[in-house]
Amino acid sequence: MSIFTDPKLGLIPGPFHNKLAEQNRARSWYDWVGYAAPGVLDSIEFEYFALRNQASLFDISPMHKYRLTGPDTTAMLNRLVTRDVRKIGLGRVGYAIWCDEEGMVIDDGTLFHLDENDWRLCCQEQMLTWLLDAAWGFDVSIVDETHSVACLSLQGPTSYAVLEAAGLDVSKLKPFDLIRIDPDLMISRTGFTGDLGYELWSDWDKAEALWDRIWKGGTHQGLRAIGYEAVNMARIEAGFLTAGVDFQPVHATERLHRGQTPFELGLDRLVDFDKGHFNGRRALLSKQDTPRSLLMRFDVEGFKPSEGSLIYNQRKKEVGHITSGIWSPTAKRNIALAHVRMPDAIRSSSLKAEIYTLQEGKWGTRMARLTPVAKAFFAPPRARATPPART
Amino acid sequence: MSQFDAIVIGGGVNGLVAGTLLSRRGKNVCIIEKSNRFGGMASYSVDGGPSLAHSLYNLSPRVLSDIGIDPQHPVLSGKPVSTVSLSEDGRHIVFKNEGIFWSEGTKHPESDAWTDLTQQLITYGGLLRQLAEAPPPGGQKAILSRGGLNEFLRLAKLGFGLKKLGKSEMRRFLQVVLSNVHDIVLDDLPEGPVAGMLAADAIWGSATGPRSPGTVFNLIYRLGHGGHITQPVGGMSALTDLLVEAAQKAGCVLMPETEVFRILLDDDAVSGVVTTDGRTLTAPTVLSNLAPKLTSRMTGPSVFDIETMRRVRNIRARGTAAKVNLRLKDGSLLPGLPDELARERLIYAPSVEHVEAAFNPAKYRQMSKAPVIEALKMQTADGASWLSTIVQYAPTDLEGGWTDTAKDQLAQIAVSTLNLALPGLKDHVTNTQIITPDQIENATGAPGGHWHHAEMSLDQLLTLRPANGMCRYSMGPKGLFQCGAATHPGGDVMGLAGRNAALAAMEATP
């Protein structure tokens, strides 16, 4: 769903704006649903390596956050999302997707099971009207917390040590656990980088105090504030999808058939046909065995990032395109996420990406062989170890 | 093993038709009705007064033959009723098949123009009837399957029928079918009672005025079976008794005074119903004659998609017609009306403008001070004489609610309006019965007390009836069907919605 922001208003400051502005040497602000968000604060390389080798702070407050409470919340959520939320225990976080009546993905997000019949949904797209529609007939109240809950993403191998130094004990927190430290601060062991990391949720007006506390804790741990560019590299390495890039949120599409089913996005594991009815279930039952395309991970020949390239099969027929592609400094591979049409997606041994190159005013193309990769490009064991290592 | 092959919830006209048809095709069917008598809105009456519906004009012969009722049955062989437009100057206008006449017998100057226009609309109605006698087009059937071929042939027949009209007639059809009755009628007729009568016939039961788009379609719909009006012999309850008899003969189990509390589901398929008195009846197919919103309440919203529920709760149904029954002191003639017109359908609609002006207050939740009225004189079983009237507009959501004072006011308005054309009527009325749309809703469940459960407007017709995505009678879980007036082609004591739904259910579970 596109968000209209008043151009006269300009980009508005988020809860950590002062802190980010102090460090924003690159002055590379971009528009994240109306907020001024840093693309890069210093340089992508410094920030990326801080994320993978030390610790990084990234402001994710512009994410949309909705609080759902009331006796029917679990039932309402189970009709909304494709997985069985009854399996997300108290104090746990679950990744979920939700579909329209045709089984096309509307958005993905994380569900925080805060208390009995008390949940928070955190997602990229504006979702209030859809949630209100979904809650009709259920005893559920929905509060848009987007502009009242601030959130910092602390990611990287020393992030546990940073929290410890800041006086926050999260040693017992397993991946996808959450803990309420005090009424104003909740910490979840979640993130969008595939690395060890935490997300810290606080009151909007207590955001700066939180920043200062974490920043102080990070003094000896190489903590760095980072922008979106570095986060994007990390999430591609982890194989995570970005709405609007790797899939088209169906409510934001205007052309026919641009939506995608969970099966086409490789998210089969998130669809539970046995839990009872959920939105799009009947459509998905008929579509589960006939995906029109598949979202694939590729090892790309050479070193040129392949983003935006078209994919050809052996017979020189165009069969897809790369949605995200970078040179991965950690995996030391040229990696990409891509949509490939069926049936070429399942006989993908001879696919090639046509990468466009611009070198000092001269455009060229390079045909790069694509090798399918089954798992994430980078999934370090440190991300899952509990208690986590300090360095 | 289920007790029944199919359960029909709601024993109104469409429910009885659906159940009987399924039963005649070998299904073991049970029809459940909340009240103590079948017939739903058609035969609903208070204290033995005249029923809500008082005449027939759209009862489908195809339905009758499908449920084994002889179209020549004595109950259906009532005298055709002509329409009389009442005039304050006493020169009433009589509309007959052969033309229109002044009440004293001479031909009305607008007779030919009226006949031409009506005939034209009847021709269009005949073409569109083919669409009414089948589920709406656009099912996702392969064209080479039997169902797909039938659908294709039906559409081809409509196309061929249109073509046969000739180029200019076809152009005219396409021009008028979506238009408003105000413009189309006044193209061919001068403003006045003749035009007013057509305008009135285009708005009965709906929340529209003559200038509202789509009202020509409503008029064509009314003329869909030729436009002949009859009164069933023995009243509307005799007709519903006939339908009940047909259901029993076909082997349906009838359960009056039984209310369904919940529709049971098992793994996304219907498995039966639970009644309010705690009984469980099992069946793999349930047809609901209720409006979609009430049906969804019986399953809970969670078994439907979010979009479906959004559409269901946005279906427009705002009843605007009240029933006002005037008890007459005796069987004597109505004042100011010649003997031979006493039993015809009387209409008070002196002009198109009058009808439009009557609609205006309804937009703002007020009743019309100068309403449009249809009246039929009749005798009830107890020998009492009544003037059975439909008074429009009396919106269901009247500001301040339908208090006794408001009802009295409506009765006063109805009597004094008719008194303008029938001076002295006031003195004949000994008692009044007012059935407001909200009362109709309470008694029958019809949302807003709307005759069709859902406004018959262009955005809620054919494949969009009752709402996008549920036009093929099935709704949500496997085995759940809608068969009520909210579905294509609508209500009007026609029976086609019930018939089409039953055929759709047969097709899904042969």
CATH number where A119 lies:
3.30.70.1400
Would you tell me which residues 456-485 of chain B have a C-beta closer than 8 angstroms to some C-beta of chain A? 469, 476-477
Closest CB from A101, A277, A282 relative to B302: A277
Q: Does B61 touch chain A (CB under 8 A)?
A: no
DSSP A308: T
Cβ contact, residue pair A277, B268, below 8 Å: yes
CB of A101 less than 8 A from some CB of B: yes
**Is B423 part of the contact surface with chain A (CB cutoff 8 Å)?**
no
**Model pLDDT, residue B139:** 58
What residues of A are designated binding site?
Answer: 199
Using CB atoms, which residue from B268, B296, B306 is nearest to A134? B306
- A75 contacts in B (CB within 8 Å)? 302
Contact across the interface for A80 and B306, Cβ inside 8 Å: yes
Nearest partner of A186 among A145, A157, A222, A220, judged by Cα? A145
Interface probe for A, chosen from B306, B308, B311, B474 (most Cβ of A below 10 Å), is B306
Does B300 contact chain A (CB < 8 Å)? Answer: yes
Q: Is A79 on the interface with B (CB under 8 A)?
A: yes
Provide the shortest C-alpha distance from residue A137 to chain B (in Å).
6
Is the pLDDT assigned to residue A5 strictly greater than 90?
no
Average pLDDT per block of 10 residues along chain B, 510 residues long: 93 97 97 95 92 91 94 90 94 94 94 95 88 75 67 80 84 88 96 97 96 94 88 91 97 97 95 96 97 95 96 96 95 88 94 98 97 95 94 97 97 97 95 96 94 92 88 92 94 92 89
Give the residue from A255, A258, A262, A253 showing the smallest Cα distance to A294.
A262
Cβ within 8 Å, pair B302-A79: yes
Residue B104 in any domain: the answer is no
Q: What is the CATH number of the domain that holds B48?
A: 3.50.50.60
Q: How many CB pairs under 8 A join A and B?
A: 47
Q: Where are the beta strands (DSSP E) in chain A?
A: 28-32, 35-40, 55-59, 64-69, 93-99, 105-115, 118-123, 141-144, 149-155, 178-182, 185-188, 197-203, 223-225, 293-300, 310-312, 318-328, 333-341, 352-359, 362-373
Average pLDDT over residues A373-387: 95
Structural domain total, chain B: 3
Domain boundary residue, one of B396, B423, B444: B444
Give the residue among B24, B55, B507, B505 at the shortest CA–CA distance from B287.
B505
Q: Which residues of A touch B306 (CB under 8 A)?
A: 79-80, 100-101, 130, 133-134, 279
A75 in B contact zone (CB under 8 Å):
yes
> B264 in contact with A at a CB cutoff of 8 Å?
no
Distance CA A249, CA B504 (A): 35
Gyration radius (Cα) of chain A, Å: 21
- For B42-85, what is each residue's pLDDT tens digit? 989 999 899 999 999 989 999 999 999 999 999 998 889 999 99
% of chain A with per-residue pLDDT over 90: 93
The whole-number pLDDT of residue B136 equals 79
In this structure, the answer to whether residues B433 and B325 fall within a common structural domain is yes
B302 to chain A, closest Cα gap in Å: 6
Which residue carries 């078209």 as its tokens? A310
Whether B92 maps to a domain, the answer reads no
Residues of A in contact with B307 (CB under 8 A): 100-101, 133, 279
Neighbours of A228 (CB within 10 A): 20
Higher-confidence residue of A391 and A386: namely A386
Q: Is A356 a domain residue?
A: no
B438 with B329, same domain: the answer is yes
Task: Give the DSSP letter of residue B288.
Answer: E
Contact check, Cβ <8 Å, A101/B305: yes
Cβ atoms B208, B214 nearer than 8 A: yes
| DSSP notation for B249-285 | HHTPEEETT--EEEEEESSSBEEEEEETTS-EEE-S-
Inside any domain, residue B102: no
Q: CB contact, 8 Å: B310 with chain A? A: yes
Average pLDDT over residues A34-44: 95
Stronger pLDDT, B128 or A16, i.e. the higher one: A16
Residues of A annotated as binding site for substrate? 199
Residues of B in contact with A133 (CB under 8 A): 306-307, 309-310
User: What's the CA gap between B506 and B501, in Å, rounded?
Assistant: 9
A227 contacts: CB under 8 Å, gap ≥ 6? A26, A28, A37, A38, A39, A40, A41, A44, A47, A58
Model confidence pLDDT, tens digit, residues A328-341: 999 999 999 999 99
Whether A99 maps to a domain, the answer reads yes
> Does residue B263 belong to any structural domain of this protein?
yes
Partner residue opposite B301 with nearest CB, options A78, A130, A137: A137
- Cα-based distances in Å from B408 to B47, B258, B269, B376: 18, 33, 49, 20
Q: Is A276 on the interface with B (CB under 8 A)?
A: yes
**Whole-number Å distance between alpha carbons of A278 and B470:** 18
Predicted confidence (pLDDT) per residue in A42-78, tens digit: 999 999 999 999 999 999 999 999 999 999 999 999 9
| Residue A134 CA: distances (Å) to CA of A142, A238, A266, B315 | 11, 31, 25, 17
Q: Is A136 on the interface with B (CB under 8 A)?
A: yes
Same domain, B122 and B217: yes
In the numeric block, which tokens belong to residue A55? 């610790």
Pick the residue of B295, B297, B305 with the most A CBs within 10 A to test the interface with A by mutation.
Answer: B305
Residue B82 belongs to some domain of the structure: no
Q: How far apart are CA A181 and CA B324, in angstroms?
A: 69
* β-strands A318-328, A310-312 pairing: antiparallel
Q: Specify the residue for token string 């009207």.
A: A129
- Same structural domain for residues B351 and B450? no
C-beta of residue A224 within 8 angstroms of C-beta of residue A24: no
Tell me the sheet residues that pair with A200.
Answer: A152, A187
Does B313 reach chain A within 8 Å, measured CB to CB?
yes
Q: Is the pLDDT of residue A3 over 60?
A: no
Of B302, B307, B476, the CB nearest to A75: B302
User: Hey, is the C-beta of A340 within 8 angstroms of any chain B C-beta?
Assistant: no
Residue A4's pLDDT is what?
A: 59
Q: Output the six-digit token pair for A362.
A: 């001269």
Inside any domain, residue B81 = no
CA nearest to B302 within chain A: A79
B269–A contact, CB cutoff 8 A: no
Please state the domain count of chain A: 1
Strand bridging mode B93-96 / A197-203: unpaired
For residue A362, what are the contacts with CB-CB under 8 A and spacing of at least 6? none
CA B100 → CA B85, B110, B125, distances in Å?
Answer: 10, 8, 21
- Taking the C-alpha atoms of residue B175 and residue B169, their distance in angstroms, rounded to an integer, is 10
Least CB–CB distance from A136: residue in B268, B309, B469:
B309
C-alpha angle with apex B8: B4 to B9, nearest 5 degrees? 125
- Domain coverage including residue A102: 65-144
Tell me which residue range forms the domain holding B255. Answer: 6-74+233-316+445-508
Based on the fold, state whether residues B271 and B310 are members of the same structural domain: yes
Boundary-marking domain end, from B230, B254, B269: B230
Chain B contacts of A79, Cβ < 8 Å?
301-302, 306
User: Which of B205, B230, B255 is the C-terminal boundary of a domain?
Assistant: B230
Residue A388 inside a domain? The answer is: no
> Are both B161 and B249 inside the same structural domain?
no
Q: Is residue A260 part of a domain?
A: no
Please name the residue that has the structure tokens 């002191």: B329
Query: In this predicted structure, what is the pLDDT of residue B463?
Result: 86
pLDDT-derived band at A1 (thresholds 50, 70, 90) equals very low
**Do B243 and B216 reside in the same domain of the chain?**
no
C-alpha distances (whole Å) from B134 to each of A11, A168, A172, B457, B468 are 57, 69, 65, 19, 17
Answer yes or no: is A75 within a domain.
yes
Residue B19 backbone dihedrals phi, psi, to 5 degrees = -65, -45
Closest-CA residue of B relative to A74 is: B302
Interchain CB contact of B307 with A (< 8 Å):
yes
CB contact (8 A) between residue B306 and residue A79 = yes
Report the pLDDT value the prediction gives residue A2, as an integer from 0 to 100: 47
In a domain? residue B48: yes
